[in-house]
Structure 1
Amino acid sequence: MFLLQLAIVSLVVVVVMLWLSAANPGLAFGTVTVVAILLALGSIVAVSWMTYRATRRLLAPVDWLLREVARWDPQRPDTRALSPDRMPGEIQGDTRKVAIALHDLGERVDSFIARERDFTRDASHELRTPLTVIRMASDLISHDEGLSDRSRRSLTRIQDANEAMESIMDALLLLARDQEVALEQEDFAVRDVVDAEVERIRPLLEGRDVQLDVEIKAEPELHAPPRVLGVILRNLLGNAARFTDVGHIKIRLLADRIEVKDTGIGMDAATLARAFEPFYRIDATATGAGLGLSIAQRLGDRCGWPLQLASRPGQGTQATIMFGTSIATD
């Protein structure tokens, strides 16, 4: 466009110089040149100004759209200004189509998030009732003196599974809440959670050549939801037990982290990069839906506990829960 304008201006200057020379044979060449230069400069300024105004008019709708999008909160974009009934009348053409498409996309995303949040919340609440019934009934049965040892062991497993389900419900409710909603936190000893989850995982290792070791280097306390930490640690220990046939699983509790290290099958770099993806399974033949690590990572992010993985094929995996700033202080 600029080159076309320059060519037009140059042509005008040449024509004017030829006309002046033909109309005034006695006119000095210098005067003709000065007049031509002034005319050229004036033409350039006029054409540039008209081009600028025309460009401003053409780009004004795009500028408006960019300003509206720049105001969006990445966590919760407000697309109401892009609704067809609220857009300025001068927003037409392709820009209007893009704005309407963005508005529709935002509406669909909001609807999807709302449905997911409502489903998680409602399902969690509805499941609490039967879980409460199971817990109360199992507690009553546990007082029966006539239970055999085998029945009492089965009852203990039922109680442990019920408690685990209640913890998962708490974790799902936490994920369903908005980031702005404060967590229900309390001070608790991390060792209590570690001991409980270690005892819960021991039955999975019975009859297998896998040694379970616990090393306590410190006894930190956290100000956070205690059941959520249990869910995260349970997922890590479950994976370690599932993918370790021979060797050991070691849990180390330090002042600022929990480490779970195994001598299982391990993961290569490509698998490790996808380990936190929902529904991704390292071994397609293994049981489980492939959601454990994904949920654990989301819970860790929600509570400020970054989850780290390090692994090598054939050498095992180490998972680390970093406590961050949630360590309780006096």
Structure 2
Amino acid sequence: MPSSWRDIRVVFLLQVAIVCLVVVLCMLGIEIVNGEPVQPVTVAAIGLSLVAIVAVTWLTYRTTRRVLAPMEWLLQEVSRWDPQRPDMRALAPERIPESVQGDTRKMADALHGLGQRMEAYIAREHDFTRDASHELRTPLTVIRVAADLIAHDPGLSDRSRRSLARIRGANAEMESLMDALLLLARDEDVAQETEDFAVRDVVEQEIERVRPLLEAKGLALDWQADADPQLHAPPRVLGVMLGSLLNNAVRFTDEGRIGVRLSADRVEVVDTGIGMDAAALARAFEPFYRANLEHPPGSGLGLSIAHRLGQRCRWPLQLASTPGEGTHAAILFGTGISRD
């Protein structure tokens, strides 16, 4: 018997006991006040009253149970759902018992309609992820292969080679960003494509990507590797996260230096830029948020994407900043899906 029915039954039994006790005490009290012994008629009246009370209470209990039975059925069906993949077939109109009518049936129909819309939405998301993964990779692969072929042309001028290097770098960054966004679009329980890689290789690759930006602004670079950790994780994700931190550091630093330090359980980026106050720091991971509109424009998505990637891969992203002094960012991969 469901717990709700047990509670209802206990309440009705308590009511019966209380009413019966009141009736008995009242009738006995009347006899005692009148100074007369308890007559058989009084006992019979008490018995009939008690029987009537019990009968009425039992009928009330049965009626209440019959009224609440449809809602109890709906609650049982919903309680059996898997939160990740609820089975809406149990609430299909043809599977709802005839006894379920009125507001309960309307609620069941509404839940069934909501479930169908959710399933259609999830199906569209899966189709988009699959199609985007194929359709976006193809042109990027063509660009990369063509750029690699052009790079072997000995007749290229230095200016053309610099332009080609920017094209190859932008294409690599787009491939990494696409992989990261597709990872975020997938359900968390979907198996991820992972591989072993050296963190130092990723860090050095991202440093080389931003080195022209550092040189253009006259910023010094402090690169220190205290360890050489290995990770087993989705490819390019760490590059996207670190690239976002480096891009922000260069964008908001007009003079001074950028520091990058690799440890056994983290990689840190420190700059001497404009920094952020407490209000801006609290909103740093919000999509499209930009604390300072006077510096070179950006989409406002870099830190948001990096933060969500860190949550998905269990690599917490930490920020500390002081206005006018700079920002200290760290990616902690020691507690994530990693191994040294």
Q: 1:231-284 CA deviation, whole Å, 9 max, x = no partner?
A: 121122222222333443322211112222334444455544443333344346
Do 1:213 and 1:251's aligned partners in 2 also have CA atoms closer than 8 Å?
A: yes
1:187–1:328 contact (8 Å) kept in structure 2: no
2:88 counterpart residue number: 79
For residues 121-200 of structure 1, the aligned pairs below 5 Å read 121-200=130-209
* Distance (whole Å) between structure 1 residues aligned to residue 277 and residue 52 of structure 2: 68
How far apart are 1:41 and its partner, in Å?
5.2
Match of 2:252 in 1: 243
- How big is each residue's C-alpha offset from its partner over 1:80-119, in whole Å with a ceiling of 9 and x where there is no partner? 3223232222222222222222222232233233323322
Consecutive unaligned residues in structure 2, runs of 5 or more: 1-10
- CA deviations over 1:136-164 (Å, ceiling 9, x no partner): 22112212222222221111111111111
SS of the residue 1:91 aligns to: coil
Aligned residue in 2 for 1:63: 72
The percent identity for this pair of structures is 67
- Paired letter, 2:269: V
Work out the CA distance in 2 between the residues paired with 1:291 and 1:41: 74
Say whether residues 1:303 and 2:316 are aligned partners.
no
Q: Which residue, out of 311, 314, 317, partners 2:327?
A: 317
1:124·1:172 contact (CA, 8 Å) conserved in 2? no
* CA shift digits 1:144-195 (9 cap, x unpaired): 2222222211111111111112222322333344434322222211000001
Cα distance change of structure 1 residues 181 and 9 upon mapping to structure 2, 3 Å threshold: closer
Determine if contact 2:256/2:272 at 8 Å carries over to the other structure: yes
After TM superposition, the score normalised by the length of structure 1 is: 0.80
Please name the residue that 2:8 is paired with: none
Q: Give runs of aligned pairs for residues 284-295 of structure 1, distance below 5 A.
A: 287-295=297-305
TM-score by length of 2: 0.78
Matched residues in 2 for 1:267 and 1:41: separation? 78
2:310 aligned with 1:328, yes or no?
Answer: no
SS class of match (1:99)? helix
Report the more deviating stretch, 178-187 or 231-240: 178-187
Match 1:97 to one of 103, 106, 121: 106
Check conservation: 2:218, 2:255, Cα contact below 8 A.
Answer: yes
2:313–2:336 CA contact under 8 A, matched in 1: no
Gaps of 5+ in 1: none
Amino acid at match of 1:290: G
Residue 220 of structure 2, aligned match among 211, 222, 226? 211
Deviation, structure 1 residue 221 = 0.5
Structure 1 counterpart of 2:4: none
| Structure-2 separation of matches of 1:171 and 1:13 | 75
Given the superposition, is the C-alpha separation of residues 114 and 248 from structure 1 closer, same or farther in structure 2, using an over 3 Å criterion?
A: farther
- Mapped contact 2:27–2:46 kept (Cα < 8 A): no
Structure 2 counterpart of 1:328, which letter?
R
Give the CA RMSD over aligned residues.
3.6
The farther-off stretch of 249-258 and 208-217 is 208-217
Superposition map of 1:252-263 within 5 A: 252-263=261-272
- Find the aligned partners of 1:110 and 1:301 in 2 and give their Cα distance: 25
Relative distance call for 1:73 and 1:276 in structure 2 (3 A) is farther
In the alignment, is the contact (CA less than 8 A) between 1:17 and 1:32 conserved in 2?
no
2:5 corresponds to: none
